[in-house]
A and B are shown apart, each in its own frame.
Chain A
Amino acid sequence: MSIVETNASAEPAGFITHAKRVLLANPVSLAALVYLVALLAMSIISIFASPYDPLATDLGAVYQPPSVQHWFGTDQVGRDVFSRVIAAARLDLLIAVSSVFLSFVVGTFVGSSAAFYGGVYDKAVGRVTDVLMTFPLFVIAMALVAALGNSVESIILASGVVNLPFFIRLSRAEVSRLRSLSFVEAARAGGNSERDILIKFMIPNAIPTITVQVSTGLGWAILNAASLSFIGLGIRPPTPEWGIMVAEGAAAVLAGNWWLVLFPGAALTLTVLSFNLLGDSLRDILDVRFRR
């Protein structure tokens, strides 16, 4: 079908206009973005100004249901659940972003270069990835944290390693597709070395697709960190963390203290959901080809 004559003389949209257009066309993504930005803002503000100290106990006010004083109620030692949920966001987002950043950087580079150079290196990377994916990923994460010790760093590393195969596979597939396109040959004719082609031509073109994986990966990483602390690995109480809060509150639910599980659980669910919903729009925003 022939292409309809559009307003060819009009200036093409810049990044901001384009991002606005994509988000307005996808209200769900917009809502997800608003939620995540709000959560991040609140967790940062809470460093300086929080309704209550998330660690301060108040034995005179244990197990209080949600009220005007305590929006999300209080827990078994009288800590304010709202303050704790907000403070936990800081830690969980930090873990998620660092671990995904780690697997994104390493995975994209390893996957892209494997596909681009091919040969034995590519085969080795492919097989190692396959082997890594045959294990239950959570078990690998558990083993790593157990071996490295209970610290935020080891959780970040463990989540990063678990996410790595997905990034390697995706970037490998994307670069295999890209490297047969005619602009690669044009780049060679233009005197670009193979390394230049990989860094300036292949990876930047693969990134919009990989972004989708970044977004879902963030969701997984948060879930992973929460799951690890739920089973008692990694972060230890009394540090506010969604997984621990759910674990600690689980027993109290039977006594009717539902707010101890509902609020951190809801924050966790909404955050993971938001990252997943944002993915597609993020790709559309980052891919210059969608700009009109």
Chain B
Amino acid sequence: MKHMMRKNLLDVADLTVSFSVSSGRVVGARDISLNIRQGETLGIVGESGSGKSVTAYAIMGLLARNGRIDAGKVQFDGRDILNDRQALRQIRGREVAFIFQNPRAALNPVRTVGDQIADVLAISRNPPKSRAETRKHVVELLDAVRIVRPEERSRAFAHELSGGMCQRVMIAMALAAEPRLLIADEPTTGLDVTTQKVIMDMLRDLAASRGLATILITHDLGLAAEYCERLTVMSKGTIVEQGATADVLYRPAAPYTERLVAATPRIDKKLIELLPQDDRTPFAASGPASKVAITQNETDPIPCLTVRSLEKSFGRGVPWWSRLFSSLSRQSGTPKKEDDGLIHAVRGVSFELQKGDAIGIVGESGSGKTTTSRMIARLLDQSAGDIRYFGEDIGSQSIQAFVSSPLRRRIQVVFQDPLGSLNPRFTAYDSIKNQLQSCARHADPAQLSVHDAHSQIIEAARLAGLAPDLLKRFPHQLSGGQQARVGIARALVVRPELLILDEPTSALDVSVQALVLNQLAELRRHLNLTIVFVSHDLNVVRLVCDRVIVMRHGEGVESGNTSDIFDHPKHAYTRELLEANPHLPASVTS
């Protein structure tokens, strides 16, 4: 076989890494053995805390100051680079290049990207002889990563480029030294799926054309499945399984891999199937939509939520005289800003939602999906348009006035960042209690009171799947999944009718996401909640929602029933989104 002929470029044997923390030493990675051949793509997959990044950083001697390599061997092209600091220095940045998560932070903000690429060229094996040659080289590299107008962009600073472009610059920097191994740590996390696809395709093509070996570190099983030849699955600091991608995904030997594959949302899967077999509660296993909700749909003439041509623009607006000047001067403003100097985040979104329904708002960053949800939640005043809640005009109430409205209780929000949306100085219990007390102040006493607050708080925590003994903890002392549950419990304690979920699981690992999504689906049935679900993840929306609105540049490009949109997308953009979304191949054929 061809694979057998290639020799190992990197050999890691029994690597163990530990960190000193205030409560002692913790192991970050234990007995890691892996290798990569020339030109091969290896995926290291695992959830947060699995030690996948620690492993990569340890190999290249980039551990944090409290980290230490306790045992093991690392050889690059036959040379020991673990103990030989000299060899490591020669290899790092020249033979092995890194691509980091969050490219904008990895670039120096006060130097042009061209200069930063030139720096790498200067330390490469064949540094350019003259300034002109350097410039030529920089432009060639930027062209290779498909940056349009490379000459001009080489003089740009990081803040002038989009996230996707910054990542391309990072790749150009990585390639500048003509390395033989590329280590990409979550290279597309935080980028839109369409951008992700372009970057990953490019990375694959460049690696293939230059015979580069690539280690792709990712939490996204779908992404790894699409781009890697071999997979290494890690959990809790150890390797649980390695092998050819297809073998690992379709015939997982380790139970952990099996669970991970199962928890990854997929086209042909139901929500309940994300959970391991033995965790499926009878309640959650019942049919998709509840009977209660359906009958109410027929009897209720007034929709729960009506949104009519909702618009939002930011900015101050430009007076006519300076508009005149700007039209005369060079046209190079940011693309988002229009002639009137305003940024139109949302332009004319309309939909209706019946009680008990769930609607998904899908789109990429900057599509206006979160802005829309914030206006509905009355956390942001709209510029124009109408929002009615059971016929009552809530759009005309300002956000300051709405805080003391009895409707505040009935419309609740679960926020995107589970940790950031909790007051760091409140325990979980205090966070839930604060919500109950504040809402009860303005609510109808018959529906919500602080009477027996303690049992109400415990009940809300139970509904959200939060153990009572966790309630006395501060947010940072909880895991991501637990933080998300505090956010849900906090919204539930005031017994809302309309729940707006803004990317509630985007910060969570897939296995935790599976649990939280199932919990939400169960709550929806149990409490007959109406749901607005905002997400960038099409797979998740498909699992949770009855209807979908696809947004782009502030407009709804397509809306309809979930199955119609996913099976027969009409708009080109919807199709593009669906194709770019990395997913595990649907059929498990062995």
Cross-chain contact of A4 among B28, B374, B412, B438 (Cβ < 8 A):
B28
Provide the residues of chain B in CB contact with A8, threshold 8 Å.
479
Interface pair B474/A288, CB less than 8 Å apart:
yes
Q: Does A119 contact B (CB under 8 A)?
A: no
Interface pair B434/A190, CB less than 8 Å apart:
yes
A-B contact pairs, 28 of them (CB 8 A): A1-B54, A2-B48, A2-B49, A2-B51, A2-B54, A4-B28, A4-B54, A5-B49, A7-B23, A7-B26, A10-B23, A183-B421, A183-B422, A183-B423, A186-B487, A188-B403, A189-B379, A189-B412, A191-B404, A191-B409, A191-B494, A193-B438, A194-B403, A200-B423, A204-B425, A205-B424, A288-B424, A292-B477
Provide the residues of chain B in CB contact with A4, threshold 8 Å.
19, 21, 26-28, 49, 51, 54, 237
Q: Which residue of B lies closest to A204 (CB)?
A: B425
Identify which of residues 232-250 in chain B touch chain A, using a CB-to-CB cut-off of 8 Å.
236-237
Provide the residues of chain A in CB contact with B49, threshold 8 Å.
2-5
Interface pair B54/A196, CB less than 8 Å apart:
no
Q: Does B4 contact A (CB under 8 A)?
A: no
Specify which of A189, A201, A289 lies most central, judged by the most chain B CB atoms within 10 Å of its CB. Answer: A189
Given contacts A1-B54, A190-B490, A192-B403, contact A292 B22 (CB under 8 A): yes
Provide the residues of chain B in CB contact with A189, threshold 8 Å.
377, 379, 408, 412-413, 415
Given contacts A191-B438, A288-B425, A291-B477, contact A21 B22 (CB under 8 A): yes
Cross-chain contact of A12 among B51, B423, B477 (Cβ < 8 A):
B477
Identify which of residues 415-461 in chain B touch chain A, using a CB-to-CB cut-off of 8 Å.
415-417, 420-425, 434-435, 438-439, 441-442
Contact with B along A149-164 (1 / 0, CB 8 A): 0000000000000000
Cross-chain contact of A1 among B27, B57, B413 (Cβ < 8 A):
B57
Q: Does A187 contact B (CB under 8 A)?
A: yes
Contact with B along A211-241 (1 / 0, CB 8 A): 0000000000000000000000000000000
Q: Which residue of B lies closest to A14 (CB)?
A: B472
CA distance A292 to B24 in the complex (A): 12
CA distance A188 to B423 in the complex (A): 12
Interface pair B442/A191, CB less than 8 Å apart:
yes
Interface pair B26/A6, CB less than 8 Å apart:
yes
Specify which of A3, A8, A205 lies most central, judged by the most chain B CB atoms within 10 Å of its CB. Answer: A3
Contact with A along B51-73 (1 / 0, CB 8 A): 11110010000001000000000
B residues touching A (Cβ–Cβ < 8 Å)? Answer: 19, 21-23, 26-28, 48-54, 57, 64, 236-237, 374, 377, 379, 399-400, 403-404, 408-409, 412-413, 415-417, 420-425, 434-435, 438-439, 441-442, 473-474, 476-477, 479, 487, 490, 494
Q: Does A185 contact B (CB under 8 A)?
A: yes
Q: Does A181 contact B (CB under 8 A)?
A: yes
Other contacts beyond A1-B64, A182-B415, A191-B439: 18, CB < 8 A: A2-B50, A2-B52, A4-B21, A6-B21, A6-B26, A12-B474, A25-B22, A182-B417, A182-B420, A183-B421, A188-B399, A191-B435, A192-B438, A193-B403, A193-B438, A289-B424, A289-B474, A291-B476
Instruction: Tell me the minimal C-beta distance from A34 to chain B in angstroms.
Output: 21
Instruction: Tell me the minimal C-beta distance from B308 to chain A in angstroms.
Output: 23
Provide the residues of chain B in CB contact with A185, threshold 8 Å.
374, 379, 415, 421
Provide the residues of chain A in CB contact with B22, threshold 8 Å.
21, 25, 292
Instruction: Tell me the minimal C-beta distance from B316 to chain A in angstroms.
Output: 15
Provide the residues of chain A in CB contact with B473, threshold 8 Å.
12
CA distance A125 to B267 in the complex (A): 58
Interface pair A200/B434, CB less than 8 Å apart:
yes
Specify which of A6, A10, A191, A201 lies most central, judged by the most chain B CB atoms within 10 Å of its CB. Answer: A191
Instruction: Tell me the minimal C-beta distance from A38 to chain B in angstroms.
Output: 27
Cross-chain contact of A205 among B54, B423, B479, B490 (Cβ < 8 A):
B423
Instruction: Tell me the minimal C-beta distance from B455 to chain A in angstroms.
Output: 19
Interface pair A191/B403, CB less than 8 Å apart:
yes
